[in-house]
Structure 1
């Protein structure tokens, strides 16, 4: 039994080490950091650069489904007018699931600290490598 537990621990450690060294996961973490920095300087357009600029982008939020990059940008601008409305965003990335060489599913927690009231919730995003760049193609935030 002890040998099985030790083997399991080594296996789990090897998986953790392999995923930590996955260049795709590293790049996706950079994309999320870029998104975070853009939001925190009040630049919604730069924040949206991490999304797929397509009419097929899917965003699922408290008001239902939104299709398209421009419609998603418009909704963000309406919901978070100005720097005070945007506040300071923080992420905690909880899960990375590789779905294929060019697709990842990521789950995380977001927290928005604002003088007008804090908000928080969870998100799940689907990212695809498109023309060599990782882009969010679907986002479910609540």
Structure 2
């Protein structure tokens, strides 16, 4: 078999939805760790239907969640360093991925906050975004 035949018959593995979601989460975390809240928030679905759940209750709507984060992290130096450990990921439909992970935000060598998060990622306008998150 010639080199040209080998190259044309070779097909690179396709990216899976799970891999695309992991890449998106890592993009969000990279923005967070740079102190760029606005870019980090672009990984959430910009819709009044976006849902955020935590131990205090729920927030519904992208704008409400953005304002909550702006209030909690008005000073980017207070955002800390975000890390995560994946625990479970599965594609639940052609356009949806469920992702569970342990997370931590550390500031000055101490844990500022952390816990578990379950996110529902959906493909909207050709990109993966979080449409619902439960963080505790």
- TM-score, normalised to structure 2, is 0.84
Question: Which string of whole-angstrom CA distances, capped at 9 and with x for unpartnered residues, describes residues 16-41 of structure 1?
Answer: xxxxx752111111100111001001
Distance in 1 (CA, whole Å) between partners of 2:46 and 2:132 is: 11
Count of aligned pairs between the two proteins = 123
Q: Match of 1:59, SS?
A: strand
TM superposition shift of 1:130: 1.0
Q: Match of 2:43, SS?
A: coil
Segments of structure 2 that go 5 or more residues without pairing to the other structure are 1-13
Counterpart of 1:137? 131
Q: Does residue 44 in structure 1 map to residue 44 in structure 2?
A: no
Higher strand content, 1 or 2: 2
Higher helix content, 1 or 2: 1
- TM-score, normalised to structure 1, is 0.81
Q: Match of 1:52, SS?
A: coil
Counterpart of 2:117? 123
Q: Match of 1:56, SS?
A: coil
Q: Give RMSD over aligned pairs.
A: 1.7
Counterpart of 1:5? none
TM superposition shift of 1:84: 2.9
Distance in 1 (CA, whole Å) between partners of 2:75 and 2:44 is: 20
Counterpart of 1:55? 48
Counterpart of 2:27? 34
Segments of structure 1 that go 5 or more residues without pairing to the other structure are 1-20
